[in-house]
Structure 1
Amino acid sequence: MANTPVIDEFLHAIENAAIPDCDVWSADATLDATVPNWRLHATGPDAIRAEYARWFADPAHFDELRRCPVDGGAGEVVEYTLSWTENGVPHAAHHMHRLTVRDGRIVADTVFCGGRWPAKLLAEMEDAGD
């Protein structure tokens, strides 16, 4: 099944640190984000954009990217490992989004984030093995 164009646009904005210019959310869109030791909610494109602009402030690269259509194509589950350099320090993160699309816009995003992993922590994880 083909990828959803609005989700393509969202992923492009993540990779290119272009969230401030990203226009993919419906007026009533919701974000439900679970992050290490916290859970947050945002409603509306401006609030979601503001949150994600903090998360995806630097150009990045998808090291792994998996997309699975759900609900007969009304959305996707998107899982990725993202890497970027922040203030000269390599970082990575692992996210999974359950994105619901209606009328060509994202109306709901439930995301689970494993945290931001700076180079030192990445090295510790590598040493610990899989």
Structure 2
Amino acid sequence: MNPIDLFLAELTEGTGISTDAWAADASLDATVPHWRFECTGAEAIAAELSGWYDAAITIEGAVRRPIPGGEAVELDLAWVEDGVPHAAHQVHLFTVDAGRISRDTVFCGGRWSAALLAEMEAARAQ
């Protein structure tokens, strides 16, 4: 299976992210609200992303574009956390080498609760 397809399948399951799609020395460079961090190694990346994707997630939209050496994937995600609907918008810039993800540069707008989603929808309607 394509490593990006595997990552997306694991993301939706809500049981965590395995090391299967990642090169042993892969790197993650993540920009999230008010923070940027990096980690290296399949185990460290799997542990970090398992914290992000710890609930069953629906991919409500995905745009996949080939880029040199990999793929850009834009995602609209939805899930329920403690009974409250949430959503997120992310872009992953994946580099793939020898059938494994060797780098993921990710940009995430944050985790939006139902209340914040309603506020954004009201602002969009104006």
Give TM-score scaled by structure 1 length: 0.92
Structure 1 segments of 4+ aligned residues over 3 angstroms from their partners: none
User: In 1, distance between residues paired with 2:27 and 2:76?
Assistant: 23
Q: Distance in 1 between matches of 2:52 and 2:71?
A: 20
> Percent identity among equivalent residues?
50
The corresponding residue for 2:89 is: 94
Deviations along 1:76-122, whole A, 9 cap, x unmatched? 00001100001101000000000000000000000000000001100
Kept in 2, the 8 Å contact 1:13–1:22? The answer is no
Aligned residue pairs, count: 125
C-alpha RMSD of matched pairs (Å): 1.3
Contact 1:19 1:56 in 2 (8 A): yes
* Aligned equivalents of 2:17, 2:94: Cα separation in 1: 19
Specify the alignment match of 2:71 in structure 1. Answer: 76
Q: Which of 99, 110, 115 is the aligned partner of 1:115?
A: 110
In structure 2, list runs of 5 or more residues that go unmatched. none
Task: Give the counterpart letter for 2:79 in structure 1.
Answer: W
Structure 1: runs of 5+ lacking an equivalent: none
